[in-house]
């Protein structure tokens, strides 16, 4: 916290770069070639890449900047990489999207919103002040409201957008109210300071609970945990595929980053680091473990069960992403660094497989003009490579070897077993069995249903390359996951906690 404001600017260079490119991207709209599809996309890509360079310079940085508002530490670094990779991929997806052609006059706005959402996500990952948390959350939210309704000629997108905005604004309102109560109780907005107040233990538990539950509504909505998940399927279905994909990774990851940081910094008894390394000791009074465990079970079970009945691919993936939120929450239940590192691992896997799946959905929507699962009939014969790729992604989502999804789940369950949450582990694995059913349903349509028309549709070299790029790590990282694991383990470090 020794950073002055001036010095602090040195630590937000990536965000600054992104902001600059946000403006540059917007400006491309004015640069004469208003209809150009590629210029704004290129600008956005460039922005992500340049920001990436600066992010990479931050390896190992562990600082709290802007008077304790914002933490630049390995933990946020991890998420920043996730956001950047997602951003880059989404931009590439968007270039290929036919859906967005309907709004071809607004590419610049579209890409700048993507950048702005990413900036918000950056800040969410590092926010260590309640105000900062709220503001960054809103930045992400507002960007996503617009993005989800971006194809505004499409009524579905409009509907998604209005639902999202009402639901989101309401949830963040609840969260803000919760923050206000917390502020009233403690007089602090900085979560490090909150920690000390909690440590003193002189608070009304009931009021704290009210505040925390209200805050949970806001956080839960961002990560789409039951019962705050309701917007998810509608928005994912209505929004353009690229946006759904973007939301499903960046927005969710940012939410998780914030959740984890908030919990870990505010509620851990730092003074009582136990003998067993990595175990957290939570202040007495609130049984976080149980709340989160219950949320986790509800989330994954509901997500999986409802997904069984979906016929729209995007909606299916929406429920699947809800279920994955449930799996991820399991990591938090353990209240150990190991659980967190498992979650981080899972994010890598989730990024790869979920984006992959959405990508294919987009490709299929482009060529076959369908989002229905039945529309995938015989895809394995018509476009074998696409079908193969989707199969890999879906099995990865299920968590079956030889895919990276398996390693992700493995480490989550390992963390649970380690901390003797056997029952939760069993619920988790049973859920993954249930999930197999609907993932395989898609595979079934692709391969087991013979198409009437077997004429081949090839997607071209670029697309195939893109699929390969997404697919290869899905398998390769299963065979050799040391780097990811190592990265995840290093990334558990947050500022102020050793």
170-189: contacts with another protein (CB under 8 A): 170-171, 173-174, 176-177, 179-181, 183-184, 187-189
Residue of 50, 88, 92, 414 that binds another protein (CB under 8 A):
414
Among 4, 57, 468, 486, binds another protein (CB under 8 A): 486
- The H or E element spanning position 346 is helix 337-368
Strands 63-65 and 70-72: antiparallel
CB of 178 to another protein, least distance (A): 9
- Tokens 């549709």 — which residue? 457
Q: Judge contact between 141 and 61, C-beta under 8 A.
A: no
Map the footprint of another protein across residues 256-295, applying CB under 8 A: 276-278, 286-287, 290-291, 294-295
**113 to each of 18, 20, 149, 305, how far by Cα in Å?**
11, 13, 12, 34
Question: How far does CA 186 lie from the centroid of its chain?
Answer: 31
User: Is 385 one of the binding residues for another protein (CB under 8 A)?
Assistant: no
Helix, strand, coil shares of the chain, percent, nearest 5, are 75, 5, 20
CB 269 → another protein: shortest distance, Å? Answer: 16
Q: Should residue 429 be labelled a site residue for another protein when binding is judged by CB under 8 A? A: yes
Quote the CA–CA distance of 379 and 363 in Å, as a whole number.
Answer: 12
CB of 33 to another protein, least distance (A): 26
CA separation for the pair 302, 230 (Å, rounded)? 11
Nearest to another protein of 41, 241 (CB atom): 241
CB of 220 to another protein, least distance (A): 8
Question: Cα(first)–Cα(last) distance of the chain, in Å?
Answer: 16
453 binds another protein (CB under 8 A): no
Please choose, out of 94-102, 249-257, 262-270, 433-441, the segment that lies near another protein by the rule CB under 8 A. Answer: 433-441
Q: Which of 57, 196, 420, 468 lies at the binding interface for another protein (CB under 8 A)?
A: 420
**What would the 3-class secondary structure string for 375-388 be?**
HHCCHHHHCHHHHH
The number of angstroms, rounded, from the C-alpha of 250 to the middle of its chain's C-alpha atoms is 4
194 binds another protein (CB under 8 A): no
DSSP run (H or E) holding 64 = strand 63-65
Binding to another protein (CB under 8 A): which residues in 329-358?
A: 337-338, 341
How far, in Å, CA of 82 to CA of 70, rounded?
A: 18
- Contact status, residue 281 vs residue 274, Cβ threshold 8 Å: yes
| Contact between 448 and another protein per CB under 8 A | yes
- Residue nearer to another protein on the CB measure, 81 or 239: 239
- Return phi, psi of residue 15, to 5°: -65, -40
Residue 423 is a binding residue for another protein (CB under 8 A): no
Which residues in the 94-133 window bind another protein by CB under 8 A?
131
Residues forming beta bridges with residue 312, ordered by sequence position: 372
Contact residue for another protein among 5, 200, 460, 482 (CB under 8 A): 482
Residues 6+ apart with CB under 8 A from 306: 233, 319
> How many residues form the binding site for another protein (CB under 8 A)?
111
Q: Out of 13, 46, 102, 440, which residue is the one contacting another protein (CB under 8 A)?
A: 440
Q: Please state the separation of Cα 467 from the chain's center in Å.
A: 20
Contact pattern from residue 230 through residue 249 relative to another protein, giving x for each residue in contact according to CB under 8 A and a dash for the rest: xx-xx--xx-----------
Residue 312 · residue 442 · CB < 8 Å: no
Is the CB of 48 or the CB of 221 nearer to another protein? 221
413 is a contact residue toward another protein (CB under 8 A): yes
Choice from 34, 37, 367, 444 touching another protein (CB under 8 A): 444
Q: For the segment 136-175, give every residue that binds another protein (CB under 8 A).
A: 138, 142, 145-146, 149, 152-153, 155-156, 158-163, 165-167, 169-171, 173-174
| Nearer to another protein among residue 63 and residue 158 (C-beta) | 158
CA separation for the pair 284, 208 (Å, rounded): 12
Q: What is the CA radius of gyration of the chain?
A: 22
Residue 43 or 343: which CB sits closer to another protein? 343
Cβ 480 to another protein, closest distance in Å? 7
Cβ distance to another protein smaller for residue 10 or 402: 402
35 or 152, CB closer to another protein? 152
Question: Of the two residues 393 and 481, which places its CB atom closer to another protein in the complex?
Answer: 481
- Minimal distance, residue 455 CB to another protein, in Å: 14
Q: What's the min distance (Å) between Cβ of 81 and another protein?
A: 18
Closer of 96 and 222 to another protein (Cβ): 222
3-state secondary structure of 312: strand
- Among the listed residues 261, 266, 321, 330, the one whose alpha carbon sits nearest the alpha carbon of residue 295: 330
Q: Which of residues 156 and 367 has its CB atom nearest to another protein in the complex?
A: 156
310 is an interface residue for another protein by CB under 8 A: yes
- Scanning 224-312, the segments in alpha helix (DSSP H) are 231-238, 241-246, 252-267, 288-307
Residue appearing with tokens 């898609």: 442
Q: Of 63, 23, 14, which Cα lies nearest the Cα of 496?
A: 63
* Smallest separation (angstroms) from another protein to the CB of 200: 15
Minimum Å distance from CB 270 to another protein? 15
């Amino acid at each position: 916290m020794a950073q002055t404001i001036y010095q602090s600017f040195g630590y937000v260079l990536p965000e600054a770069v992104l902001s600059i490119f946000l403006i540059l991207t917007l400006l491309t709209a004015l640069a004469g070639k208003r209809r150009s599809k590629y210029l704004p996309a290129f600008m956005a890509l460039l922005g992500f890449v340049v920001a990436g360079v600066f992010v990479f310079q931050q390896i190992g940085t562990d600082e709290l900047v802007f008077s304790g508002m914002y933490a630049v530490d390995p933990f946020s670094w991890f998420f920043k990489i996730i956001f950047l990779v997602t951003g880059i991929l989404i931009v590439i997806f968007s270039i290929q999207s036919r859906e967005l052609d309907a709004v071809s006059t607004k590419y610049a706005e579209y890409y700048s919103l993507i950048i702005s959402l990413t900036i918000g996500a950056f800040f969410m990952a590092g926010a260590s002040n309640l105000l900062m948390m709220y503001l960054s959350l809103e930045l992400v939210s507002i960007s996503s409201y617009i993005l989800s309704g971006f194809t505004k000629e499409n009524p579905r997108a409009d509907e998604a957008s209005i639902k999202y905005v009402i639901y989101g604004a309401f949830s963040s309102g609840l969260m803000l109210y919760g923050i206000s109560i917390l502020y009233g109780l403690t007089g602090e907005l900085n979560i490090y300071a909150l920690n000390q107040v909690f440590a003193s233990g002189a608070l009304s538990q009931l009021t704290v609970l009210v505040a925390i539950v209200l805050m949970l509504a806001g956080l839960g909505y961002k990560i789409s945990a039951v019962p705050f998940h309701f917007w998810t399927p509608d928005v994912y279905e209505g929004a353009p595929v690229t946006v759904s994909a973007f939301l499903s990774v960046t927005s969710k990851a940012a939410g998780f980053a914030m959740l984890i940081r908030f919990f870990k910094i505010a509620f851990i008894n730092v003074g009582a680091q136990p003998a067993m390394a990595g175990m957290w000791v939570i202040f007495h009074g609130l049984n976080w473990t149980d709340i989160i465990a219950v949320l986790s079970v509800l989330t994954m079970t509901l997500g999986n069960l409802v997904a069984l009945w979906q016929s729209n691919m995007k909606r299916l993936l929406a429920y699947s992403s809800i279920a994955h939120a449930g799996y991820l929450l399991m990591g938090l239940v353990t209240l150990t660094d190991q659980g967190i590192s498992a979650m981080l691992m899972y994010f890598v896997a989730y990024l790869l497989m979920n984006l992959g799946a959405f990508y294919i959905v987009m490709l299929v929507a482009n060529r076959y003009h369908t989002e229905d699962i039945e529309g995938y009939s015989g895809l394995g014969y018509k476009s074998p490579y696409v079908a193969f790729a989707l199969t890999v992604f879906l099995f990865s989502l299920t968590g079956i070897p030889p895919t990276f999804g398996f390693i992700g789940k493995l480490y989550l369950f390992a963390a649970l077993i380690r901390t003797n949450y056997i029952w939760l582990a069993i619920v988790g694995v049973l859920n993954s069995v249930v999930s197999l059913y609907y993932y395989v349903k898609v595979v079934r349509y692709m391969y087991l249903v013979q198409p009437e028309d077997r004429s081949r549709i090839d997607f071209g070299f670029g697309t195939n390359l893109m699929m390969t790029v997404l697919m290869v790590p899905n398998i390769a990282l299963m065979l050799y996951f040391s780097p990811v694991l190592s990265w995840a383990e290093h990334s558990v470090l947050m500022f102020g906690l050793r």
